[in-house]
Amino acid sequence: MRLNAYLARAGVASRRGADELIKAGRVTVNGEPGELKTFVGANDVVSLDGERLQPQELAYVLLHKPAGVVTTARDPQGRRTVVDLVDHPVRVVPVGRLDADTTGALLLTNDGDLAHRLAHPRYEVDKVYEVEVEGELDDAALARLRDGVDLDDGRTAPAQARHLGPTTLELAVHEGRKHQVKRMLAAVGHPVTRLHRSRYAGLDLEGLEPGAWRELESSEVELLRDLRAWRPGSASSAPG
């Protein structure tokens, strides 16, 4: 694996943070200074500031993110983070982001390769939201969401949308644009008042109270690794 991925697996930093450690000359591989392009094999010795590192076991955690918590490993403003909520012996970091006021399903892991795939738009990982909005939604607004909405960074991909009530809907998207759901609803004339992600990549929050987390089952991890399970029209991607 790449050196930055190895450092992330060892729990010392995110991949981006690992790149900074490497560029600062603090990381060696077999006694030689590591580089950003360095690959680490099973028998290589990696050290940080002279201390040998060992990769941690892979861990996969599903968190029911509550409101008011930021989706980051560290916050310069001192706010509570999702990592603070997960008391796990292995350092895990969030896959993607949810706004501080958004609640719901959030995956955390130290599996950098899987996290990269989940975040990449080509794999079309479904994110299902329960959305409360201003004003009563009509069929025309839902049709616009299903067809794709023009935003300032381009037209969104078609979404799956259905009524849950006069001012609530379920919306399934697979893109990862910043504030996408809020921007889509604002574009059709219904600003969001509450946003909750009920499912992510087929994982739901059954049995998890806000702020609680659990380890993924091995079968769930395999499902995440099976990219075919993320394609539109598959059993795991259809909103229920």
The answer to whether 157 and 173 have CB atoms below 8 angstroms apart is: yes
CATH number of 60-121+202-230: 3.30.70.580
In DSSP notation, the chain reads -BHHHHHHHTTS--HHHHHHHHHTT-EEETTEE--TT-B--TT--EEETTEE--PPPP-EEEEEEPTT-BSSS--TT---BHHHH---SS--EESS---TT-EEEEEEES-HHHHHHHH-GGG---EEEEEEESS---HHHHHHHHH--EETTEEPPP-EEEEEETTEEEEEE----TTHHHHHHHHTT--EEEEEEEEETTEE-TT--TT-EEEPPHHHHHHHH-GGGGSTTSTTTS--
Query: Taking all residues of the chain, what is their mean pLDDT, rounded to a whole number?
Result: 90
What fold, for 127-200?
Alpha-Beta Plaits (3.30.70)
The pLDDT tens digits for 169-227 are 999 999 888 899 999 999 999 999 999 999 999 999 999 999 999 999 999 999 998 85
Give strand pairing partners of 154.
151
Domain residue ranges in the chain: 3-52, 60-121+202-230, 127-200
Determine the average pLDDT of the residues in 102-124. Answer: 87
Same fold, 3-52 and 127-200: no
> What are the catalytic residues?
99
Q: Is residue 139's pLDDT more than 90?
A: yes
The pLDDT tens digits for 44-93 are 999 999 999 988 889 999 999 999 999 988 888 889 999 999 999 888 98
CATH of 3-52, one of 3.80.10.10, 3.40.50.300, 3.10.290.10, 1.10.3720.10: 3.10.290.10
* Residue 103 φ/ψ, nearest 5 degrees: -110, 170
